[in-house]
Amino acid sequence: MIRRAALCSVLLAGSVALAAHAQQQAVFSSKVEAVRVDVLVAESGRPVRGLRAADFEILDNGVRQRVDLVSTEQLPLNVVLTFDMSDSVVGLRLTHLRGAGRAVLDGLAKGDQAALVTFNNVVAVGATLTTDTAAVRTAIDRAEPDGNTSLVDASFAGMMLGEADVGRGLVIVFSDGLDTASWLKPQAVVDVAKRSDTVVYAVSAGLGSTVEFLRDLTDETGGRLFEIGSTKDLGAVFQQVLEEFRQRYLLSFSPAGVSRDGWHELTVRVKGRNATVRARRGYLAGQ
């Protein structure tokens, strides 16, 4: 368990590690590193399948790049369940949340990993990334609600776990209230998200500034925010998230004709189609 007295140093260390990782991935020398872009393509609200690398167009700071398509079957999923366990998540809401977590675990394939982060006054790692879904299921069942809400800190921790191993990182965040206990500032965590390959999906059953933070976090990473009034269909929402993530495309390109450092804005399009595209907004290059 990460208690308040130690939280700042733990999160700071993680932030430095992630920043170093992001920079290492994007430093352009004589050997140009590839940039990965996880992309969802949809028409009329439904994911579009069967596209090839030639169907995509990526602009890096306005400069068209050569796109490669990575086989997603070759990369396992790293799914980090990040659950609000404040004192408002009780009764049916707790039952629905536990059931939704189990539904995600049931939908994982061989080689996929899962982890659990819970949060109230403190951020706790109930299970680190593992292929042992039974261990994660046990951690979900043992988690008990209490105290306030540290959503921002927990979202950071979830992204750290999502990038802790080789694979495609998916963070699923659930919260039903305002953040009342975090040490980190929302914008600082959103800035970290800009440098991360992890995709964040979030489900909010509450109102207020929490929604704004989750919308920024999901937009920057190319994920989605679901706002719900009731948790009774939470399991179906989580299953939709997992299925949608499996239908995303993983694109790759080696930056050419652009600066070797600084912030790079990305534009991803599908040629000849009136499709909605969701992808990370950019990446940080250089030292």
Supply 146's token pair: 């209490």
Does residue 45 share a domain with residue 82?
no
The CA-atom distances, in angstroms, between 73 and each of 66, 246, 272 are 22, 9, 26
Does residue 261 share a domain with residue 228?
no
How far apart (Å, rounded) are the C-alpha atoms in residues 33 and 26?
A: 6
Question: Would you say 124 and 154 are in contact if contact means Cβ atoms under 8 Å apart?
Answer: no
Which ranges of 76-121 would DSSP assign to H, the alpha helix?
A: 92-106
Report the range out of 15-29, 30-44, 180-194 with the highest average pLDDT.
180-194
Rg (the chain; Cα; Å):
18
Which ranges of 163-253 would DSSP assign to H, the alpha helix?
A: 186-194, 209-221, 234-246
For residue 2, tell me if it sits in a domain. Answer: no
| pLDDT tier for residue 218 given thresholds of 50, 70 and 90 | very high
Does residue 81 share a domain with residue 168?
yes
Does residue 274 share a domain with residue 196?
no
Does residue 180 share a domain with residue 97?
yes
pTM of the model: 0.88
Does residue 102 share a domain with residue 161?
yes
Does residue 131 share a domain with residue 53?
no
Supply 26's token pair: 């994007």
List, for residues 180-192, the tens digit of each pLDDT value. Answer: 999 999 999 999 9
CATH number reported for the structural domain that contains residue 190 in this entry:
3.40.50.410
List, for residues 49-76, the tens digit of each pLDDT value. Answer: 999 999 999 999 999 999 998 877 778 9
Structural domain range at position 272: 7-71+249-285
Number of domains in the chain: 2
Does residue 128 share a domain with residue 42?
no
Question: Would you say 201 and 171 are in contact if contact means Cβ atoms under 8 Å apart?
Answer: yes
For residue 1, tell me if it sits in a domain. Answer: no
Residue type, 201: Y
For residue 186, tell me if it sits in a domain. Answer: yes
For residue 206, tell me if it sits in a domain. Answer: yes
Does residue 118 share a domain with residue 55?
no
Does residue 200 share a domain with residue 279?
no
**Cβ partners under 8 Å of residue 71, min gap 6:** 250
Per-residue pLDDT for 18 more than 80?
no
Does residue 219 share a domain with residue 87?
yes
Residue 91: how many CB atoms within 10 A of its CB? 10
